[in-house]
């Protein structure tokens, strides 16, 4: 694809994402008119206007600890006149979930793109180095043991610990061979899977909640989750974008990349760390949502080519739209279905179709 | 430009390079030759900074390449890899633009115009401008090799390292690639290249470095490095090094392995058939004598190379009695004598000598009529002589000569004379 078209492609995908978000917000038990949704959404656009640092009590067992809490103050410059019920439904119930879904899709698709390029392997996805398993372990532990540390925090920490363990196991003499990393990732995932299964067997009453989390879900999403996840994802993907060219060169092989001036091992560490953080951020709030990070990068590679300078942003935006759409389907039925089931159920057949129709077998 | 000083490298506990030193100046193309496993690729990887030597230092433009960052190093040394297969749908221009990586500003991902200038020039220089929008994965091996040379050019480094740039190319593309590299050297670059094809290395390189078992066995001009002795020592082959009549550079011919039993053989007659017979017999380990030849006969380059005792006479003169006596003694001492597609001349001295042979093998590649300059009488004498010996061609002659003198031999004849 010609470079002069890049801007239009990214702008188009951004427009598609906004449209998807607005249409999604009209859907639900109470139908809301698209114009009303647009106005309510515009009202919800907050501009950070300051930081406040407060010390708040945090309950630990029978006592409480003073914990410093940093909070952002927002101003809302747009004030359309919208019926109060509609405003509440759209702004307090649907939008947090939709925006969080977009964020998670954005993060997973970006991380998947990076991992596939990094591993030069079409099977790579964001969880390949154990991030999702680590997050799942943290989350299930939080649910089963009713931990005082919030679930997303446990999941986030578990994710990063698992990724770091895989990295440390695969590294020898300052070098991390990609193949070793892949195998260590598989081994750690299997091991953590066994630990999670054991905890589920012991779970008792909390089993249902744990299983629901494991399937990936976006229900009961809050603006608070968006406030943490969205900036983290956008920031991390932004830094990853600065490494898009390095990823291109790494596709030629590590020897070539070194000959072209890439500090190969350092670049690999940075890419792994960033991709792990962005994946961990997504999994911590939404559970294990499969296929977004695998399928979306493949589809975008077919459409825009292998150059990560265009592939990374387009995949991230397409991933956001895809997950919002999938979650809209997940909550449109009579009973809510975990969104992870929808992405897999829709994604797998579509992927198989692509596999038969066109060449997906190369990264 | 490139100075390799006493470099030793061991990989996974195995000493791959031991005390290797060499230098490549700007405007010089040095070829690295040697058998597989000699350490050529390791040396190249040490020169481009991918491997840090255990001992010694590689300096490029005066700076130790191992001490530089990858980025700084790749501004000094550009590399054309051995494997140029690209599994990804990058265009030719994308790949060439990647050559600008060491000069790139991380936070400007878009088109940087000064870089584009280098890319355009590299495309032009390698005649790949027309391919710029093609996917690299759809190119032929030769085209792809040019694209990777273009990438190295875009890198704009004063030193260039090539790892078997012609390994997977046919003759035409190998020559084109090396000609291109030669032009780049003449533009003022220092190039070190591992090259499999000894003749191509001799033809395109200013100097060769012969690497064996991780050490430099010989270094110097192609003539100095490519000799029968060095080939035997490094490649474990019997080879003949002659001068390629077209390029004037050394030409290497490998020969079959040594015979079981050594024989004494005299060769009468020169030309290409004489040279082939002498070279093959010598390479197989036989004790060969030859001649007499006129000074300046092309066959003398072969006899000189194998130290074959040879009598020479001034051009256009008949051999003196003394020369004939010496030769007669050699023929008498020989197990067999070869008439190598000889011309029959009025002086008749070759046929006189041939009568002394115990066992005569006439190697005939041309019909007798085209070789007879002496009339009917001499022709009959020749025919009578060979009728008592053997008539054969070059290929069969060697095995024929290697059979025991007493063994019955099937007569081989190509031209019924």
CATH number at residue A302: 1.10.3470.10
Which DSSP state fits A172?
B
Nearest by CB to B71, from A241, A261, A307: name it. Answer: A261
From chain B, the residues in CB contact with A268 under 8 A are: none
Instruction: Mutation target for B interface from A252, A271, A305, A311: give the one with most B CBs within 10 A.
Output: A252
Radius of gyration of chain A from Cα atoms? Answer: 21
Q: What percent of chain A has pLDDT over 70?
A: 97
| Range from A61-65, B59-63, B303-307 carrying the lowest mean pLDDT | A61-65
C-alpha torsion sign, points A180, A182, A186, A189: positive
Q: What is the pLDDT of residue B412?
A: 44
User: Given CB atoms, is B98 within the 8 Å cutoff of chain A?
Assistant: yes
φ and ψ at residue B194, rounded to 5 degrees: -80, 125
Q: Per-residue pLDDT averaged across B332-337, rounded?
A: 87
Tell me whether residue A17 is in a domain: no
Q: What is the pLDDT of residues B5-40, one digit of tens each?
A: 999 998 888 888 999 999 999 999 999 998 888 889
CB contact under 8 A, A362 and B88: yes
Chain A residues in contact with B110 by the CB 8 A cut-off are 3
- What pLDDT is attached to residue B416? 39
Mutate to test the interface with A, among B12, B13, B87 (most CBs of A within 10 A): B87
User: Which residues of chain B lie closer than 8 angstroms to A249, CB-CB?
Assistant: 98, 101
Q: How confident is the model at residue A325 (pLDDT cuts 50, 70, 90)?
A: very high
Q: Averaged over A273-287, what is the pLDDT?
A: 92
Q: How far apart are CA A136 and CA A288, in angstroms?
A: 7
pLDDT in tens, A242-272: 999 999 999 988 889 999 999 999 999 999 9
B12–chain A Cβ distance below 8 A for any pair: no
* Residue-wise pLDDT tens digits, B100-140: 988 887 666 555 567 888 899 999 988 889 999 999 888 88
What local confidence, expressed as pLDDT, does residue B414 receive? 42
Nearest CB to B101; choose among A243, A249, A253: A249
CA distance B185 to chain A (A): 19
**CB of B294 within 8 Å of any CB in chain A?**
no
* Assigned domain for A266 exists: yes
Taking CA–CA distances from A306, the nearest residue in chain B reads: B89
Whether residue B83 contacts residue A254, with contact meaning beta carbons closer than 8 Å, is answered with: no
Could you tell me how many helices (H) and strands (E) chain A has, helices first? Answer: 15, 2
pLDDT for A18-71, tens place per residue?
Answer: 999 999 999 988 888 899 999 999 988 888 888 888 887 777 667 777 878 778
Domain span holding position A297:
90-357
pLDDT tier, B410 (very low <50, low <70, confident <90, very high otherwise) = very low
What part of A 286-345 touches B (C-beta under 8 Å)?
A: 305-307, 309
Kindly report, residue by residue over A148-158, the tens digit of the pLDDT: 888 899 999 99
Per-residue confidence (pLDDT) for residue B413, from 0 to 100: 44
Q: DSSP 3-state helix, strand, coil percentages of chain A (rounded to 5)?
A: 70, 10, 20
* A204: phi then psi, degrees, rounded to nearest 5: 70, -125
CA distance A253 to chain B (A): 9
Q: Which residues pair with A71 in a beta bridge?
A: A52
Which has the closest alpha carbon to B61: B103, B3, B145, B18?
B3
A28 inside domain: no
Contacts of B267 (CB under 8 A, 6+ apart): B274, B277, B278, B281, B288, B289, B290, B291, B337, B338, B340
pLDDT for position A359: 58
Is A84 inside any structural domain?
no
Q: How many CB atoms lie within 10 A of CB B143?
A: 18
Closest Cα of chain A to B58: distance in Å?
Answer: 15
Interface residue A362 vs chain B (CB under 8 A): yes
pLDDT of residue A202 exceeding 50, the answer is yes
Q: Determine the average pLDDT of the residues in B174-184.
A: 88
**pLDDT at residue B408 in the model:** 47
DSSP state of A130: S
Tokens 């584009």 — which residue?
A: B116
- The secondary structure element, H or E, covering residue B21 is strand B14-24
Whether A33 is in a domain gets the answer no
Q: Is the dihedral of CA A257, A261, A267, A271 positive or negative?
A: negative
For residue B157, which of B132, B109, B190 has the smallest C-alpha distance? Answer: B190
Instruction: Between B87 and B109, name the one with better pLDDT.
Output: B87
Q: What is the pLDDT of residue B111?
A: 52
Chain B residues with CB inside 8 Å of A3's CB? 110-111
Q: Kindly state whether residue A141 falls inside one of the protein's structural domains.
A: yes
Convert the pLDDT of each residue in B389-401 to its tens digit: 788 887 777 777 7
H or E stretch at A97: helix A95-119
pLDDT band at A352 (very low <50, low <70, confident <90, very high): confident
Please tell me the predicted confidence (pLDDT) of residue A126: 85
Q: Is the pLDDT of residue B171 over 60?
A: yes
Q: To probe the interface with B, which of A259, A301, A304 has the most B CB atoms within 10 Å?
A: A259
With residue A257 as reference, give the H or E element that holds it.
Answer: helix A254-259
Residues on chain A touching B77 (C-beta within 8 angstroms): 259
Give the pLDDT score at B106: 67
- Regarding predicted confidence, which is higher, B340 or A358? B340
Query: Residue A78 domain-assigned?
Result: no
Mean of per-residue pLDDT scores for chain B? 84
Q: Which of A242, A261, A363 sits opposite B101 (nearest CB)?
A: A261
Query: How does residue A195 score in pLDDT terms, banded at 50, 70 and 90?
Result: very high
pLDDT band for position B415 (cuts 50, 70, 90): very low
Band (A208; pLDDT cuts 50, 70, 90): confident
% of chain B surpassing 90 pLDDT: 23
Q: Which residue of B has its CA nearest to A255?
A: B50
Query: C-alpha dihedral over B212, B215, B218, B222, to 10 degrees?
Result: 60
The count of structural domains within chain A is 1
pLDDT above 70: residue A275: yes
Percent of chain B with pLDDT over 70: 91
Asked if the Cβ–Cβ distance from B107 to A242 is below 8 Å, we say yes
Instruction: Of A224-233, B170-179, B293-302, give the range with the top mean pLDDT.
Output: A224-233
Q: In this model, does residue A230 exceed pLDDT 90? A: yes
Q: What angle do CA A116, B91, A243 make, to 5 degrees?
A: 45
The answer to whether residue A60 sits within a structural domain is no
The span from the CA of A13 to the CA of B322, in Å, is 98
């Amino acid at each position: 694809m010609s470079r002069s078209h890049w801007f239009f492609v990214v702008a188009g995908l951004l427009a598609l994402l906004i449209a998807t978000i607005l249409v999604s917000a009209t859907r639900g038990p109470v139908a809301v008119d698209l114009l009303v949704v647009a106005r309510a959404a515009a009202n919800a656009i907050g501009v950070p206007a300051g930081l406040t640092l407060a010390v708040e009590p945090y309950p630990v067992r029978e006592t409480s600890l003073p914990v410093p809490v940093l909070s952002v103050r927002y101003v809302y410059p747009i004030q359309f006149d919208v019926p109060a019920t509609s405003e509440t439904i759209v702004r307090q119930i649907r939008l947090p979930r939709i925006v969080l879904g977009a964020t998670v899709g954005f993060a997973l698709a970006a991380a998947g793109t990076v991992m596939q390029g990094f591993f030069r392997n079409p099977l790579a996805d964001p969880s390949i180095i154990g991030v999702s398993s680590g997050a799942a372990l943290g989350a299930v532990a939080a649910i089963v043991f009713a931990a005082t540390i919030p679930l997303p925090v446990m999941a986030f920490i578990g994710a990063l610990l698992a990724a770091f363990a895989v990295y440390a196991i695969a590294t020898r003499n300052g070098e991390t061979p990609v193949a070793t990393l892949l195998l260590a990732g598989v081994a750690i995932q299997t091991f953590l899977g066994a630990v999670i299964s054991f905890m589920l067997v012991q779970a008792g009453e909390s089993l249902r909640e744990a299983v629901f989390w494991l399937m990936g879900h976006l229900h009961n999403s809050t603006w608070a989750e968006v406030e943490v996840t969205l900036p983290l994802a956008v920031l991390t993907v932004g830094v990853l974008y600065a490494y898009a060219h390095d990823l291109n060169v790494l596709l030629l092989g590590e020897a070539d990349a070194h000959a072209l001036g890439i500090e190969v091992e350092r670049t690999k560490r940075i890419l792994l760390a960033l991709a792990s953080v962005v994946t961990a951020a997504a999994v911590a709030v939404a559970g294990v949502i499969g296929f977004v990070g695998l399928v979306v990068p493949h589809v975008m590679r077919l459409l825009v080519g292998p150059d990560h300078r265009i592939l990374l942003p387009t995949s991230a935006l397409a991933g956001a739209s895809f997950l919002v759409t999938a979650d809209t389907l997940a909550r449109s039925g009579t009973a809510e279905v975990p969104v992870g089931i929808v992405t897999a159920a829709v994604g797998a057949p579509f992927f198989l179709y692509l596999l038969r129709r066109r060449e997906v077998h190369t990264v | 430009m490139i100075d390799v000083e006493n470099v030793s490298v061991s990989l996974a506990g195995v000493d791959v390079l031991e005390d290797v030193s060499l230098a490549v100046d700007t405007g010089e193309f040095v070829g690295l030759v040697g058998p597989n496993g000699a350490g050529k690729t390791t040396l190249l990887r040490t020169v481009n900074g991918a491997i840090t030597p255990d001992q010694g230092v590689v300096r490029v433009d005066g700076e130790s390449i191992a001490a530089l960052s990858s980025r700084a190093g790749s501004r000094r040394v550009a590399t054309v890899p051995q494997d140029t297969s690209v599994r990804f749908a990058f265009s030719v221009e994308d790949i060439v633009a990647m050559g600008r990586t060491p000069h790139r500003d991380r936070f400007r991902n878009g088109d940087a115009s000064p870089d584009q200038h280098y890319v355009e020039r590299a495309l032009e220089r390698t005649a790949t401008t027309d391919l710029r929008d093609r996917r690299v994965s759809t190119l032929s091996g030769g085209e792809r090799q040019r694209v990777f040379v273009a990438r190295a050019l875009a890198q704009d480094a004063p030193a260039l390292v090539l790892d078997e740039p012609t390994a997977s190319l046919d003759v035409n593309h190998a020559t084109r690639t090396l000609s291109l590299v030669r032009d780049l050297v003449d533009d003022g670059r220092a190039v070190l290249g591992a090259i499999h094809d000894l003749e191509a290395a001799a033809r395109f390189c200013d100097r060769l470095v012969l690497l064996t078992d991780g050490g430099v066995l010989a270094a110097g001009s192609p003539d100095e490095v490519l000799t029968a002795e060095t080939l035997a020592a490094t490649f474990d082959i019997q080879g003949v090094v002659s001068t390629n009549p077209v390029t004037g550079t050394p030409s290497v011919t490998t020969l079959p392995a040594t015979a079981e039993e050594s024989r004494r053989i005299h060769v009468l007659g020169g030309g290409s058939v004489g040279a082939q017979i002498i070279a093959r017999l010598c390479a197989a380990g036989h004790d060969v004598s030859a001649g007499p030849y006129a000074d300046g006969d092309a066959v003398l380059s072969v006899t000189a190379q194998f130290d074959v005792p040879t009598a020479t006479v001034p051009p256009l003169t008949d051999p003196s009695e003394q020369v004939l006596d010496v030769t007669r003694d050699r023929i008498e001492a020989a197990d067999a004598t070869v008439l190598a597609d000889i011309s029959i001349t009025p002086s008749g001295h070759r046929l006189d000598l041939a009568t002394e042979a115990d066992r005569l093998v006439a190697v005939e590649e041309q019909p007798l009529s085209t070789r007879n300059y002496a009339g009917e009488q001499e022709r009959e004498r020749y025919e009578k002589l060979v009728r008592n010996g053997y008539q054969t061609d070059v290929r069969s002659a060697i095995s024929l000569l290697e059979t025991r003198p007493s063994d019955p031999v099937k007569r081989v004849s190509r031209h019924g004379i």
